[in-house]
Amino acid sequence: MSKPKQQSLFEEEELPENPMPWERESAQDLYLAQIVLNRPVDRVFHYLVPESMRALLRAGHRVQVPFGRGNQLSPGYCVGVGPAEENQPSIRFKTVEAILDSRPLFDAKMLKLTRWIADRYLCSWGQVLECVVPAGVKNQAGTRMVTLFELAAPSHLAGDDSAALIEKLPAKQRAVFDALKSAEKPLTLEELTQSAGCGSGPVQSLKKKSLIRSHQKRMQHFENDDDVVHAHIKKEDDLELNPDQCRALDQILEAIRGQRSETFVLHGVTGSGKTEVYIQAIREVVSYGQQAIVLVPEISLTPQAIQRFRSRFDSVAVLHSHLSDSDRHYHWQNIAAGKVQVIVGARSAVFAPAPHLGLIIIDEEHETSFKQETAPRYHAREVARKRSELESVPLILGSATPTLNSWLRVIEKKDTLISMSKRVNDLPMPNVNIIDVRNDVQIRRNDSIGRVLFTGMQHALGAGGQVILFLNLRGYSPALWCKGCGNSVKCPHCEISLTWHRDKNLAVCHSCDFSAKPPTHCPGCGAPGLRFVGTGTQRLEEEVKAKFPGYKCQRMDSDTMRGVGSHARVLNAFAAGEVDILLGTQMIAKGLDFPNVTLVGVVDADTMLHQPDLFASERTFQLIAQVAGRTGRGMQGGRVFVQTASPTEPAILKAAEHDFLSFAKYEMGHRKEMLAPPYSHYARVILRGPQEEHVQEFARQLSQILSDAAEEKKLSVQILGPAPAPIIRLKKYFRYHFQLAAVNVEEILQLWREVDGKLPREKGIEYIIDVDPVNMR
Ligand SMILES: Nc1ncnc2c1ncn2[C@@H]1O[C@H](COP(=O)(O)OP(=O)(O)OP(=O)(O)O)[C@@H](O)[C@H]1O
Ligand SMILES: [Zn+2]
């Protein structure tokens, strides 16, 4: 959480002292830079540009400026530069100290985009710019300063004195001189001494004689050139599209050719071949020498998926979270230089500095990971929308389960729907069986695999097929339960039940990572004999191994997938048929395309359903429909078994029927009735502090101020709450929240700006605002 804004601290940058007459230069003579800083206050500061920088400094440059009372040097971003405006108040300005990069990091469009983000997500421009530039670019990782040598200026060498000196050069110096003469570019000391076959002495002597000169330059020295490593990847031809894909592509091509910023919601059922449509649309923009950005959830950045792009295009940059600073810097430079055709990456790749962007694609657009949970709390989908508008390029939002947000825009005809309702090669959608576990004898005996699912797995495995089991809880048991008082053991810092991890015999908090040996007695009532209840992936793995001893089973969750590349290893083993049963958390629910998977089991469909969350139903539908889609992708067909204690729940029923349209209709009806998103916007204000009563009282105060301001300014913003947050205690802090709700998001933004900077502060209590939150916990 960021600190509340402290307006007063930032007022003194432009010193409003009485200027001396000679300082009262006429406005036109002043050359000023507009600078923003990475602070929570959204303000632009003016700095004087010294004469020596006037020709160099441009908007988009990173600079160093003196800031605050102590004039501490701080990095900042130049967002504008030029002669002072006529009405610029006459005050004494501080001076820009240094320009930090040789070239600006942002062009005009990126400045506009980031300004928009600051407005839309209620943070400062400086915070947004700071987040857009990777750390590796800021610290110029993987580069070093080198000294380059070249001959002195021709006019100097042509002089009589020089000619005489050259005439009399000793052999080694002569060799150095000749080496530079025949070189086409300046040389490093190493290159030069090698080429002349001497040490550094003769070079220094020549320099003393002013026959050669040197200068310093920053150069890249990347050891790990990702693209060189992958250059040998076998190139493959594009597939021949089926009629559905052709229709989809044609619509997209029309927008590309017309340079329209149209947004397409590509609703294609699982296995309908959306990726091939993306690839061929990208083919078109690449043929114009333009670049495409493809956003995918981090977890989809698997070698399998990346291979699909690398085998089709010459230069693909993959931006995943395991990149080193210097790799990231290397990619940024290459992208900015226009050398990369396709940029594939998670959320932040939406900011890739492609100079001639032609297309943006968001795959699996329903994924919540496209929203950033720290400031700036932007949603990559909305940023992509804005960028597509600024660059006049189309945006494709692809999913088998579009968000209701996108769906409403389709209904309102703001976005264009493209439907692909059939799987490729006329494959049928898998048959989904909903299994009511309430009367299952196995489940009653505390097993997790019920009778029907067990039989289904036996058949599938017996016929040589592979199985995916999905369970969204990691660990062994999600609760330690006390018979004495009926409570479960909570994390000492969070209001969250501890999960037992049997492999390490630890009770772990999945929110703050607290862990300890499980207590033998209930910390609440002191009774002995705590019970481990419920099933997580570890326990499921044990059960599978016991029930299917002849088959190889692999667990995939964030506990087993800690190492770099572990994800890839498991998926490769699964693809190669070395693993029969893959079980895991939502990691295995997405994008996987394995034709030999003939059965998918959803072990407990209800885990998402009972969350106190507006989006619980939508998320349940998405997860089940997505995980169900992992089967039946080959000729052997496929089946899905969904175990649930709520077999009549619409989200589950509709997912079983692969019926997005009717789920959307049902759920949108509810949302409309409640005037909930997507029919309105929420902004969530979350407060936290060490003492519950204080947080509660302060939440009440803030919400009252906002409510009064809304009334005074006649803004139709409703305040819902305050109330304790669903996780009332997290990492030792008590948490309260309330929502600002309005049909028009502008009214929320206006209201916040109205009160921002005037809100009271309370010692020890922090608060943030999250516009269009996806996480309500
Ligand atoms: N025109 C085509 N002819 C033959 N095979 C195709 C064609 N288009 C796609 N495929 C294949 O169909 C499979 C499924 O395609 P893809 O993974 O793109 O589906 P998808 O729509 O992204 O599914 P999901 O939403 O489940 O990830 C892939 O193995 C792909 O190679
Ligand atoms: Zn905790």
Q: What would the DSSP string read from start to end of 187-229?
A: EEHHHHHHHHTS-SHHHHHHHHTTSEEEEEEEEE--S--HHHH
775 alpha carbon – ligand 2 mean position (Å): 18
**509-556 confidence digits (pLDDT tens):** 887 778 888 888 888 888 887 888 788 899 999 999 999 999 999 999
The response to whether residue 272 sits with its C-beta less than 6 Å from ligand 1 reads: yes
pLDDT tops 90 at residue 162: no
**Pocket perturbation via mutation, ligand 1, pick of 275, 429, 571 by most ligand atoms within 8 A of CB:** 275
729, part of any domain: yes
Instruction: Say what the pLDDT of residue 225 is.
Output: 46
- Tell me, rounded to whole angstroms, the distance of Cα 452 from its chain centroid: 40
185 and 266 co-located in one domain = no
Q: Are residues 165 and 95 in the same domain?
A: no
CA of 298 to the centre of ligand 1 (A): 20
Would you tell me the crossing angle of helices 171-182 and 189-196 to the nearest 10 degrees? 120
Q: Cα-atom radius of gyration of the chain, to the nearest Å?
A: 31
Ligand 1 near 591 CB (within 6 A): yes
* Structural domain ending residue among the three candidates 164, 196, 220: 220
Strand ranges inside 471-605, DSSP E: 479-482, 499-501, 506-508, 515-516, 530-533, 553-556, 581-584, 597-602
**Mean pLDDT on 675-680:** 93
Residue 578 backbone dihedrals phi, psi, to 5 degrees: -80, -15
How many Å apart are CA 744 and CA 730, to the nearest integer?
Answer: 32
- Which residues lie below 8 Å from residue 365, measured CB to CB, with a gap of 6+? 265, 381, 397, 398, 399, 402, 403, 406
Domain boundary among 489, 507, 531: 531
pLDDT at 3: 40
633 CA to middle of ligand 1, Å?
A: 9
One domain for residues 281 and 410: yes
What whole-number percentage of the chain has pLDDT above 70?
93
376 and 262, same structural domain? yes
- Nearest-CA neighbor of 724 among 706, 737, 733, 715? 737
Assigned domain for 776 exists: no
Segment 377-381 mean pLDDT: 97
Q: Evaluate: CB of 271 within 6 angstroms of ligand 1.
A: yes
The span from the first CA to the last CA of the chain, in angstroms, equals 14
Q: Which of 132-146, 223-237, 285-299, 728-742 bottoms out in mean pLDDT, i.e. has the lowest?
A: 223-237
Mutating to test ligand 1, I would choose from 249, 265, 274, 418 the residue with most ligand atoms within 8 A of its C-beta, which is 274
Number of domains present in the structure of the chain? 6
413 and 441 in one domain? no
Q: Is the pLDDT of residue 640 over 70?
A: yes
Angle between helices 404-411 and 660-674 (to 10 degrees): 90
More confident residue, 164 or 86: 164
* pLDDT band at residue 16 under the 50/70/90 scheme: very low
On whether the CB atoms of residues 502 and 528 are closer than 8 A, the answer is no
287, part of any domain: yes
Note whether residue 702 is domain-resident: yes
Is pLDDT larger for residue 53 or for residue 300? 53
Q: Looking at the predicted structure, is the pLDDT value of residue 235 above 90?
A: no
Domain boundary among 184, 199, 220: 220
Q: Are residues 123 and 19 in the same domain?
A: yes
Looking at the fold, whether 591 and 649 belong to one and the same domain comes out as yes
Task: Check residue 548 and give its pLDDT.
Answer: 96
| Tens digits of residue pLDDT in 73-112 | 999 999 999 888 777 776 788 999 999 988 899 999 999 9
Which residue minimizes the CA distance to atom 31 of ligand 1? 273
Over the stretch 34-59, which tens digit does the pLDDT of each residue have? 999 999 888 999 999 998 999 999 99
Distance CA(30)–CA(33), nearest Å, equals 10
User: Residue 26: what pLDDT?
Assistant: 52
The pLDDT confidence band at residue 186, using thresholds 50, 70 and 90, is confident
Complex ipTM tops 0.95: yes
> Same domain, yes or no, for 663 and 701?
no
Question: Mean pLDDT across the stretch 137-146?
Answer: 77
1 assigned to some structural domain: no
Which CATH number covers residue 182? 1.10.10.10
Q: Cβ(696)–Cβ(690) under 8 Å?
A: no
Judged by its nearest atom, the ligand closest to the C-alpha of residue 496 is: 2
The conformational region for residue 304 under phi > 0 = left, psi -120 to 50 = alpha, else beta, is alpha
75 φ, ψ (degrees, to nearest 5)? -75, 145
pLDDT of residue 486: 78
> Is 138 part of any domain?
no
Residues 744 and 699 in one domain: yes
Please indicate if the annotation marks 485 as binding a ligand: yes
- In terms of residue numbers, what domain contains 54? 7-133
Closest CA to 354 of 333, 371, 385, 327: 333
The whole-number pLDDT of residue 9 equals 32
- Which pLDDT band holds residue 679 (cuts at 50, 70, 90)? very high
- pLDDT bin (cut points 50, 70, 90) of residue 493 is confident
Mean pLDDT over all residues of the chain? 88
Residues 153, 262, single domain; the answer is: no
> Residue 293: which of 371, 363, 367, 359 has the closest Cα?
359
Question: 474 pLDDT exceeds 90?
Answer: no
Task: Give residue 284's pLDDT.
Answer: 96
> Is the CB of residue 93 less than 8 Å from the CB of residue 5?
no
Residues in a beta bridge with 348: none
Confirm whether residue 491 is marked as ligand binding.
Answer: yes
Is any ligand 1 atom within 6 A of the Cβ of residue 276?
yes
525 is an annotated ligand-binding site residue: yes
Place 222 in a pLDDT band, splitting at 50, 70 and 90.
low
- Give residue 27's pLDDT band: very low, low, confident or very high (50, 70, 90): very low
pLDDT tens digits, 555-600: 998 888 777 778 888 888 999 999 999 999 988 877 788 899 999 9
Query: Closest residue (by CA) to atom 1 of ligand 1?
Result: 241
Amino acid found at 34: Q
Residue that wins the pLDDT comparison between 117 and 22 = 117
Examine the pLDDT at 17 and tell me if it is beyond 70: no
Tokens standing for 151? 């001959």
| Atom of ligand 1 lying closest to residue 591 CA | 27
| Residue 132, pLDDT above cutoff 60 | yes
Element (H, E) at 73: strand 72-83
Distance 661 CA to ligand 2 centre (A): 39
Q: What is the CATH number of the domain that holds 575?
A: 3.40.50.300
Pocket test for ligand 1, best of 280, 593, 633, 635 (most atoms within 8 A of CB): 593
Please give the number of the atom of ligand 1 that sits closest to the Cα of 595. Answer: 29
Whose CA is closest to atom 11 on ligand 1?
273
27 CA from centroid of ligand 2 (Å):
57
Mean pLDDT of 597-621: 87
Say which CATH number the domain at 737 has.
3.30.70.600
Residues 270 and 169 in one domain: no
Which amino acid would we find at residue 220?
Q
**pLDDT tens per residue across span 395-439:** 999 999 999 999 999 999 999 999 999 999 889 889 899 999 888
Ligand 2 centroid, distance to 737 Cα (angstroms): 19
CA atoms of 224 and 237, how far apart (whole Å): 28
Side chain identity, residue 453: L
Where is 728: in which H helix or E strand?
strand 718-730
Distance 459 CA to ligand 1 centre (A): 26
- Average pLDDT for 117-130: 96
Binning pLDDT at 50, 70 and 90, where does residue 221 land? Answer: low
Q: Tell me if residue 455 falls in helix, strand or coil.
A: helix
Residue 228 has pLDDT above 50, yes or no: no
246 labelled ligand-binding: no
Asked if pLDDT for residue 642 goes beyond 70, the answer is yes
- On whether the CB atoms of residues 641 and 456 are closer than 8 A, the answer is yes
CA dihedral (296, 300, 304, 310) in degrees, to 10, reads 20
- The pLDDT confidence band at residue 6, using thresholds 50, 70 and 90, is very low
pLDDT on residue 613: 76
Give the C-alpha separation, 583 to 429, whole Å. 22
Question: In 10 A of CB 614, how many CB atoms?
Answer: 18
CA of residue 700 to ligand 2 center, whole Å: 26
Residue 468: its pLDDT value, please? 94
Going through 488-624 in order, the beta strands assigned E by DSSP cover 499-501, 506-508, 515-516, 530-533, 553-556, 581-584, 597-602
CA distances (Å), origin 77, targets 54, 334, 394? 16, 22, 29
Q: What angle do CA 75, 78, 80 make, to 5 degrees?
A: 165
Asked if residue 482 belongs to a known ligand binding site, the reply is: yes
User: Do residues 306 and 239 both lie within one domain?
Assistant: yes
